[in-house]
Structure 1
Amino acid sequence: MPSTSQSTAATVARWRAAAENADADAAIACLSPDVVLSSPLTEQFRLEGREELGDFLSQAFTAVEDIHFHTEIGQGDAYSLAYRARVRNQPFEEVQLLRFDDEARISEISLYGRPMPALTALMITLGPKLARRQGRRGLAALLRVSSAPVHNMVSFGDRRIVPMTRPRKR
């Protein structure tokens, strides 16, 4: 019988492959029934259970494209994975902190993303998709309309303003 650390490493390998192949069903198979996901965007958005995460993952894999993991650090019941991808042609990098239950299934996922323009692009793309899947077309429209100015300001600042704050070469 494999040790828990071997089983956890096998789950991590399956999770990575599922994400890189945009395979929501394979990703769901890695999850504990009472899994919890914390959003990188807000404390107000938390998903609980395989069913909620399944819908989220199927939509996230259409919004986040070309996932390629580059770093994996793990010990015991916790692993940290990092990948690069794209969101609406924006470069995107995410770190996932995964915690595992006694059966080597993912029980907790905390997400951390950068840069800010990619996060706001994700908000514009994923939020409305999730609302529409729930039959909330009005909320989907509101999310898109209210997120667009934030995305435009962040993108403009990232391209035009932030570069001006770099130290000047002497």
Structure 2
Amino acid sequence: MTNATTERYRRAMLTGDVDLAMSNFAENAVLHSPLTRRVRFTGHAELRPLIEVAYKHLKDVDFHVDIGDEKTRLLVYRGKIRNEELEEAALLHLDDAGKITEATLFVRPLPGIVELMSAFGPDIARRNGRSGAARLLSVLTKPLLSMVKSGDKFAVPLAGPKR
């Protein structure tokens, strides 16, 4: 069962419509990063650049869960970022008008979340006028991305069931 807010949320992401996405959020909405507890985006001025970056990078989005009630919803989709598969769950808290007041994002698997960090971090820093931070984030995420991808391909299967 979907509700009007989650239907607009899904349609906005599938069509890349940032204005439609923004219409779902209360003016003082808070979005909690899936990367760290230290980062959150508060209000439309901080949410809009994040959503613009997300819609630029996320591809092949396919929603497969939309559950909850009028106050709390959980949306889950699968998609790709730079050809790396990911799955994201968005826990949404809604006000009486159906606007999102709080969103907490969860992303898996690890290669997908590191690819997300590698793509989003520099772009968000640039949009916030922090070009030096954008360059630093680009440099810092490359070795982590390489380690995670090679670990996922070669090391993780060693610990799993024998096939």
Query: CA separation in 2, counterparts of 1:77 and 1:92?
Result: 26
Find the aligned partners of 1:168 and 1:29 in 2 and give their Cα distance.
Answer: 49
Q: Out of 121, 124, 127, which is 2:115 matched to?
A: 121
Which residue of 82, 92, 100 corresponds with 2:94? Answer: 100
Paired residue secondary structure (2:3): helix
1:88 aligned partner, one-letter code: R
Residue 63 of structure 1: how far off its partner (Å) = 1.5
The aligned residue for residue 131 of structure 1 is 125
| TM superposition score normalised by structure 2 | 0.96
Distance 1:104 1:76 in 2: 7
Counterpart residue number, 2:38: 44
SS for the counterpart of 1:102 is coil
Higher-Rg structure is 1
- What TM-score results when the alignment is normalised by the length of structure 1? 0.92
CA distance in 1, matches of 2:86, 2:110: 9
Give the match's secondary structure for 1:83.
Answer: strand
1:3 corresponds in structure 2 to none
Give the count of matched residue pairs.
163
Deviation at 1:76, TM superposition (A): 3.1
Identical amino acids, percent of aligned pairs: 40
> Which of 87, 105, 109 is the aligned partner of 2:81?
87
* Structure 1 portions without partners, runs of 5+: 1-7
| Matched-pair contact (CA < 8 Å) for 2:70–2:98 | no
Equivalent in the alignment of 1:73: 67
CA distance in 2, matches of 1:68, 1:21: 12
Aligned match of 2:50? 56
SS in 1 for 2:158: helix
Partner of 1:141: 135
Shift of 1:122: 0.8
After the TM superposition, which segments of 4 or more aligned residues of structure 1 sit over 2 Å from their partners?
none
Q: Compute the RMSD of aligned alpha carbons.
A: 1.4
